[in-house]
């Protein structure tokens, strides 16, 4: 059931939160928070996403705020540290913000940087984590095939857990997975090929990845994501999209409902925020975050409220995406054929 637009607008709060370091090309993370009958929820597609892509994020926000969550299989989630594309000498300071985390996801292939920068960054992470720590790298699809193969050869000495989205297309993922299987032995995880694809299952049905990285918001919510996991039949990593703690809670509820969760999840990213919407954020403790709803604090909503111009921009975006949801054909249950 789609809530009326007036109900959404009536509780909407827009915040602009500073980051501790530049990430995904931004220094501030904006988000629109809503309060539904089930609790607070978040609508925060990145600014460059168009309405057609953003509508799934609104569907997810409504799912979390207006629909009961599935049964939970665990009450806390093991999480990884996230290392942006920073200079190697800054790595130790970033990892210190993720206490107890024994897995680190390291951003690589950033525009304006070189493979030597990536190697130095990953080497610094290995130095901090020690030989027993797990390292995964994320290229966000920015390598071509030859660049990916060359980079994985250079990074192979650091005993990678997996490489996330080394190339952009599903065909390239399949090929780099084949090359890796031949002599590198580094599993391939798909992220953008799942959350930004018209058919999120295609990467699984074509054998293009060993692992799926899923995010609740861009897939349309917890229930849709759980159905995808069940159909894909591959191990998954639940990740965030640089959310506030309200949005991270959505990811935590998704991860808590997945049977046989094998990998540490990318849900520790509140540690990348210099401020949050709650005085009790979902930060890692002993490498885990709890599964719980988050209630924003009024003073923080006021302190980090976005400018009037940005508020108008977000409310207009919410209105347009709500109209797209309202225009979708209603699902009707199948009826049995008459005898």
Q: Residues annotated as binding site?
A: 138, 164, 191
Token duo for residue 225: 């994501």
Per the residue annotation, which of 35, 126, 195, 215 is the catalytic one?
Answer: 215
* Kind and range of the H or E run holding 326: helix 308-327
Does residue 278 contact residue 296 with C-beta atoms inside 8 Å?
Answer: yes
107 is catalytic: yes
Per the residue annotation, which of 13, 35, 107, 121 is the catalytic one?
Answer: 107
Token duo for residue 116: 């030597």
Identify the CA nearest to 101 among candidates 271, 238, 218, 317. Answer: 271
SS3 138: strand
Phi, psi of 14 (to 5 degrees): -115, 130
* Kind and range of the H or E run holding 318: helix 308-327
Beta-ladder partners of 29: 17
Identify the CA nearest to 43 among candidates 228, 244, 199, 182. Answer: 244
Question: What is the distance of C-alpha 288 from the center of its chain?
Answer: 16
CA distances from 4 to 9, 21, 319 (A): 9, 38, 10
Phi, psi of 108 (to 5 degrees): -135, 175
Output the CA torsion 130→19→238→219 (10° steps).
-160
Pairing outcome for strands 26-36 and 39-43:
antiparallel
Q: Which residues fall in the annotated binding site for Mg(2+)?
A: 138, 164, 191
105 is catalytic: no
Q: Which active-site residues does the annotation give?
A: 107, 215
């Amino acid at each position: 059931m789609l809530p009326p637009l007036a109900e959404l607008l009536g509780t909407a709060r827009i915040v602009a939160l500073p980051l501790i370091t530049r990430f995904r090309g931004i220094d501030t993370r904006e988000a629109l928070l809503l309060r539904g009958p089930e609790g607070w929820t978040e609508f925060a597609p990145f600014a460059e996403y168009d309405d057609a892509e953003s509508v799934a994020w609104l569907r997810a926000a409504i799912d979390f705020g207006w629909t009961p969550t599935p049964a939970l299989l665990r009450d806390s989630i093991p999480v990884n540290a996230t290392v942006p594309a920073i200079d190697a000498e800054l790595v130790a300071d970033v990892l210190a913000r993720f206490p107890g985390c024994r897995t680190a996801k390291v951003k690589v292939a950033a525009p304006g940087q070189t493979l030597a920068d990536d190697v130095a960054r990953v080497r610094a992470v290995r130095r901090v984590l020690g030989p027993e720590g797990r390292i995964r790298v994320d290229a966000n699809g920015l390598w071509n095939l030859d660049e990916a193969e060359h980079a994985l050869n250079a990074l192979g000495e650091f005993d990678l857990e997996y490489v996330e989205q080394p190339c952009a297309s599903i065909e390239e993922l399949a090929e780099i997975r084949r090359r890796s299987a031949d002599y590198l032995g580094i599993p391939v995880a798909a992220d953008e090929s799942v959350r930004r694809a018209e058919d999120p299952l295609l990467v699984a049905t074509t054998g293009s990845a060993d692992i799926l990285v899923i995010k609740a918001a861009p897939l349309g919510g917890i229930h849709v994501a759980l159905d995808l996991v069940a159909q894909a039949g591959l191990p998954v990593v639940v990740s965030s999209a640089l959310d506030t703690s309200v949005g991270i809670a959505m990811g935590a509820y998704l991860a808590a409902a997945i049977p046989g969760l094998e990998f540490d999840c990318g849900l520790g990213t509140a540690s990348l925020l210099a401020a949050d919407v709650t005085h009790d954020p979902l930060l890692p403790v002993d490498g885990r975050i709890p599964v719980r709803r988050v209630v924003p604090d009024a003073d923080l909503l006021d302190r980090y409220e976005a400018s009037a111009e940005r508020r108008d921009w977000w409310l207009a975006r919410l209105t347009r995406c709500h109209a797209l949801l309202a225009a979708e054909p209603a699902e009707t249950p199948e009826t049995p054929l008459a005898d």
